[in-house]
């Protein structure tokens, strides 16, 4: 099938300390836990055992995704691949919620508003001000970006909008060249990418959860349309367990 279709692999980073502590991570940098590093290594082995060798790699600018990618491609025995990093693959910016535990936010604002911030397509959490240290303008990684591109808070709709140009200009370009392409990113940037791939509505994406550390394979036709909508997890049992874990924490 890899020879007849274009293969796209999506991988949410391994468990980070933010995941373990049930914190809104967003654009803040959190390292992988030991479990997260093990998940990244296992993902690489699963990719290798599936007979896949990524020839193109795309990650966000956040350490947890970059480190997951390094571990996974080493285990997959990938060499000579092209690698790109982009802020457009970053996790959703959670504004003033970043760095706070979900339980504290739920307690302060109530379960209903908390749930809408988590799952609404259009609603963004409270924004941070330009002087707040959590605003991306204070991070050297984004110094070259136009100020209007730097979010102070994002909805999933905003994530989808900033991801679309990268999908069209970078990821799709590798797929057109028939390179097996690995994207290592985050729960919400990958949900947004799945929206683009599968044509999901805002209502359908509310129930989509992406587990940490389990590769999701899409085989795409010449029009870059999924042969199997939703793709196929290379480790179905691990994916089901991971999705249940994500859902139990209220989604990511």
Q: Which of these is catalytic: 15, 91, 93, 154? A: 91
Task: Give residue limits of the domains in the chain.
Answer: 6-94+155-248
Q: Which of these is catalytic: 13, 58, 93, 135? A: 13
The whole-number pLDDT of residue 1 equals: 44
What DSSP element (H or E) covers 7? Answer: strand 6-12
Best CA proximity match to 194, nearest among 223, 153, 226: 226
Residue 144, SS3 per DSSP: coil
The label of the residue with tokens 């967003």 reads 26
User: Would you give per-residue pLDDT tens digits along the chain (252 residues)?
Assistant: 445 799 999 999 999 999 999 999 999 999 999 999 999 999 999 999 999 999 999 999 999 999 999 999 999 998 889 999 999 999 999 999 999 999 999 999 999 999 999 989 999 999 999 999 999 999 999 999 999 999 999 999 999 999 999 999 999 999 999 999 999 999 999 999 999 999 999 999 999 999 999 999 999 999 999 999 999 999 999 999 998 988 777 554
Q: Give the residue ranges of DSSP H helices in the chain.
A: 17-21, 34-49, 63-75, 102-109, 111-119, 156-166, 172-176, 187-198, 202-205, 236-248
How far apart CA 236 and CA 242 sit, in angstroms, is 10
Domain 6-94+155-248 has CATH 3.40.50.1240: yes
The whole-number pLDDT of residue 248 equals: 76
How far apart CA 135 and CA 145 sit, in angstroms, is 13
91 is catalytic: yes
Burial zone of 185 (CB within 10 Å; 0-12 exposed, 13-18 middle, 19+ buried): buried
The answer to whether the beta carbons of residues 184 and 9 sit under 8 Å apart is no
In the structure encoding, which two tokens stand for residue 241, read together?
Answer: 């367990």
Residue 7 main-chain phi, psi, to 5 deg:
-105, 125
pTM (2 decimals)? 0.95
């Amino acid at each position: 099938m890899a020879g007849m279709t274009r293969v796209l692999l999506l991988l949410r980073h391994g468990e980070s300390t933010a995941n373990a502590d049930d914190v809104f991570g967003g654009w803040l940098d959190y390292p992988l836990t030991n479990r997260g590093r093990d998940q990244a290594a296992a993902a690489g082995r699963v990719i290798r055992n599936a007979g896949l060798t990524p020839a193109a790699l795309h990650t966000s600018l956040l350490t947890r995704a970059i480190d997951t990618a390094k571990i996974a491609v080493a285990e997959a025995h990938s060499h000579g691949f092209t690698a790109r990093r982009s802020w457009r693959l970053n996790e959703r910016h959670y504004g003033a919620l970043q760095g706070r535990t979900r339980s504290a936010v739920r307690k302060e604002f109530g379960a209903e508003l908390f749930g809408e911030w988590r799952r609404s397509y259009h609603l963004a959490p409270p924004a941070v001000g330009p002087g707040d240290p959590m605003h991306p303008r204070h991070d050297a990684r984004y110094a070259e970006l136009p100020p209007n591109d730097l979010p102070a808070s994002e909805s999933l709709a905003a994530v989808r909008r900033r991801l679309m140009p990268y999908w069209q200009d970078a990821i799709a370009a590798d797929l057109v060249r028939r390179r097996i392409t690995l994207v290592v990113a985050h729960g919400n940037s990958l949900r947004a990418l799945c929206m683009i791939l599968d044509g999901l509505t805002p209502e359908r994406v509310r129930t989509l959860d992406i587990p940490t550390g389990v590769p999701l394979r899409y085989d795409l036709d010449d029009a870059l349309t999924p042969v199997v909508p939703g793709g196929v997890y290379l480790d179905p049992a691990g994916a089901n367990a991971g999705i249940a874990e994500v859902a139990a924490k209220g989604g990511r």
